[in-house]
């Protein structure tokens, strides 16, 4: 009893140190069933058929990039990649908002989950999520890595703490925020404040931003990618790609073992997952298209965000986008049959950079040199098409350096340098795979069949393309294989698929100009070798 009292006092002191005092009941590290009970009792969520918990996030159903700020403070000020993405907020504004937020939580029950980010024990980050909501604690327990040893859990000391209060709102005029919602990261105090939004992705991505800040300073690559391995842990592959390129779909291969679907590190020992769960889009998800992910929407332990449900039958409708197109499922990675519980593998043999080219000019598969790999990594190209966002009528090129610029706290060159070094040291093959259009741009051509893309990825990972004769693309310079098992040879050269060759040339030049403009803006300090590896106007 004395030991329990001592532990309780130690935990209470850790909260007081944060300024959290005079609060209501504190729920420490509740198991999943207990968090279900609390969430339902507090009307935060409802139980659906077969066991998933269904919740709504209210006004905001996605991330708020304009409401995320990094605190301008001495320990990180000269390391951050300041600009449109990483915008500063004054430290005095952070301190004042933190004080008011802690005052807001007085008298309220709070839920706390102690866990880790990072499956590799050498580089894992002990974290603590403190929230006024049971659903947020359940999300943290689902998405991050749990400590299963009760004694170690009782002694858990977090290096970073998230204080999460969706019902607390900022005053932009007083607090210096963009709106009443905010995500503020203070690298010096090692505290993250989230308020005004219940969208759970803000918790996940704020910790990812921290990992992207800390790990490269330890010579560990932090990556926005999925990863799997084949016959053993030394047959690993990494899939970079922005939303809509097929990153989750193509890494979920029944013949390979899933390491993780979104966030990874690459150390001197190999690749490791940052998370213990997955956070997948589920709008129009089908049993036929993605059977493994579909089954997670029918299991206890899954949280469904903004998914519509018939309140009488308690059955969900994954096709209903009444609230948002960005419906989500958060589930433990153990819900996926072919996964690894260690969250780790060896060094990758292959890196696949995915793009959905709506201009229809990039080849469906091509091999990259090390310099070309660094160029396309710094570019992070894909394309938005009509219907994806209001006002988009023609394909629009989208560039996100490192395939995840919103979460990269350091300059892009930091990550590219690490990637280049690791590619060279471990002799990794790098490929560009276009999951977009062929035979014409969006509206004229056809999207490359998923079956063909899967065949290309399989050929890459099996080594079947390694010694196939290849020709350099005249504009992009990347090596295009002249044949691929299971893929018609006529679609491999994109220009040959266009009836109007002049139209292809014009569209290709249009895209090259956009590449060059983006590279000047976001990677102007790259080496001449990398700059020369980009596309050329012919």
Q: DSSP labels for 445-508? A: SEEPPHHHHHHHHHHHHHTTTTTS-EEE-TTT--EEES-BTTB-GGGTSGGGG-S-HHHHHHHH
Q: Say which of 63, 128, 133, 164 is annotated catalytic.
A: 63
- According to DSSP, residue 261 is labeled S
Task: Clarify whether 284 is annotated catalytic.
Answer: no
Task: Clarify whether 247 is annotated catalytic.
Answer: yes
Q: Say which of 48, 131, 248, 267 is annotated catalytic.
A: 248
- List, for residues 453-483, the tens digit of each pLDDT value: 999 999 999 999 989 999 999 999 999 999 9
Q: Say which of 133, 164, 328, 422 is annotated catalytic.
A: 328
Element housing 398 (H / E): strand 396-399
Task: Clarify whether 328 is annotated catalytic.
Answer: yes
Task: Clarify whether 90 is annotated catalytic.
Answer: no
Task: Clarify whether 205 is annotated catalytic.
Answer: yes
Please list the residues that pair with 353 across neighbouring strands: 240, 432
CB hemisphere CA count around 482 (13 angstroms) = 6
Q: Of the spans 34-48, 272-286, 383-397, which averages the highest pLDDT?
A: 34-48
Q: Say which of 46, 243, 324, 527 is annotated catalytic.
A: 243
Query: Is the per-residue pLDDT at 384 higher than 80?
Result: no
Task: Clarify whether 100 is annotated catalytic.
Answer: no
- List, for residues 202-224, the tens digit of each pLDDT value: 999 999 999 999 999 999 999 99
pLDDT-derived band at 16 (thresholds 50, 70, 90) equals confident
Longest dimension (CA), the chain: 82
Relative orientation angle of helices 134-143 and 32-41, to the nearest 10 degrees: 150
User: Distance between CA 412 and CA 121 in Å, rounded?
Assistant: 26
User: Distance between CA 294 and CA 533 in Å, rounded?
Assistant: 41
Q: Say which of 224, 256, 344, 367 is annotated catalytic.
A: 224
Unique residue bearing structure tokens 């859990």: 153
- List, for residues 136-172, the tens digit of each pLDDT value: 999 999 999 999 999 999 999 999 999 999 999 999 9
- CB-based burial, 115-132: b 16+ in 10 Å, e otherwise: bbbbbbeebbbbbbbbbb
Q: Say which of 67, 120, 235, 262 is annotated catalytic.
A: 262
User: Distance between CA 229 and CA 231 in Å, rounded?
Assistant: 7
Strands (E), 107-246: 110-117, 125-131, 145-146, 160-165, 182-186, 191-195, 221-229, 236-240
The residue count for the chain: 538
User: Distance between CA 294 and CA 492 in Å, rounded?
Assistant: 32
Q: Which residue has the higher pLDDT, 526 or 495?
A: 495
């Amino acid at each position: 009893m004395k030991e329990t009292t001592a532990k309780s006092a130690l935990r209470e002191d850790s909260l007081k140190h944060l300024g959290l005092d005079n609060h209501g009941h504190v729920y420490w590290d509740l198991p999943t069933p207990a968090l279900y009970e609390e969430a339902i009792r507090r009307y935060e969520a409802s139980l659906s058929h077969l066991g998933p918990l269904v919740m709504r996030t209210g006004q905001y159903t996605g991330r708020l990039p304009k409401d995320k700020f990094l605190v301008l403070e001495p320990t990180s000020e000269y390391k951050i990649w300041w600009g449109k993405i990483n915008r500063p907020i004054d430290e005095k504004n952070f301190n004042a908002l933190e004080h008011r937020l802690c005052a807001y939580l007085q008298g309220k029950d709070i839920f706390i989950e102690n866990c880790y980010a990072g499956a590799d024990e050498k580089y894992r980050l002990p974290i603590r999520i403190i929230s006024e909501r049971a659903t947020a604690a359940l999300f943290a327990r689902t998405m991050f890595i749990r400590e299963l040893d009760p004694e170690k859990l009782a002694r858990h000391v977090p290096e970073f703490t998230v204080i999460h209060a969706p019902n607390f709102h900022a005053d932009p005029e007083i607090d210096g925020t963009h709106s009443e919602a905010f995500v503020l990261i203070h690298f010096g105090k090692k505290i993250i404040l989230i308020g005004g939004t219940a969208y759970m992705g803000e918790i996940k991505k704020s910790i990812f931003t921290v990992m992207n800040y800390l790990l490269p300073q330890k010579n560990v690559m932090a990556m926005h990618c999925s990863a799997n391995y084949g016959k053993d842990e030394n047959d690993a592959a990494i899939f970079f790609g922005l939303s809509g390129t097929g990153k989750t779909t193509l890494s979920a291969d029944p013949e390979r073992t899933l390491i993780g679907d979104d966030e990874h590190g690459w150390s001197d020992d190999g690749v490791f997952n940052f998370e213990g769960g997955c956070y997948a889009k589920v709008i129009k998800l089908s049993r036929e298209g993605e059977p493994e992910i579909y089954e997670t929407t029918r299991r206890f332990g899954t949280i469904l965000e903004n998914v519509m449900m018939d309140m009488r039958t308690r059955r969900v409708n994954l096709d209903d986008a009444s609230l948002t197109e960005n419906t989500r499922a958060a589930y433990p990675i153990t819900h996926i049959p072919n996964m690894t519980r260690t969250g780790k593998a060896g060094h990758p043999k292959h890196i696949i950079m995915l793009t959905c080219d709506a201009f229809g000019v990039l080849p469906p598969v091509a091999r990259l040199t090390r310099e070309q790999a660094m160029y396309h990594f710094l570019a992070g190209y894909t394309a938005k098409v009509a219907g994806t966002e209001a006002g988009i009528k023609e394909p629009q090129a989208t560039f996100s350096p490192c395939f995840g610029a919103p979460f990269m706290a350091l300059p892009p060159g930091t990550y590219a340098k690490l990637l280049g070094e690791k590619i060279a040291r471990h002799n990794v093959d790098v490929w560009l795979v276009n999951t977009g259009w062929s035979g014409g741009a969006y509206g004229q051509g056809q999207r490359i069949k998923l079956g063909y893309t899967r065949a290309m990825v399989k050929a890459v990972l099996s080594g079947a393309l390694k010694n196939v004769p290849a020709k350099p693309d005249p504009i992009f310079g990347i090596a295009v294989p002249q044949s691929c098992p299971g893929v018609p040879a006529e679609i491999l050269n994109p220009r040959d698929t266009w009836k109007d060759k002049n139209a292809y040339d014009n569209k290709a030049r249009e895209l090259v100009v956009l590449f060059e403009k983006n590279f000047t803006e976001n990677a102007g300090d790259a080496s001449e070798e990398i700059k020369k590896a980009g596309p050329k106007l012919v």
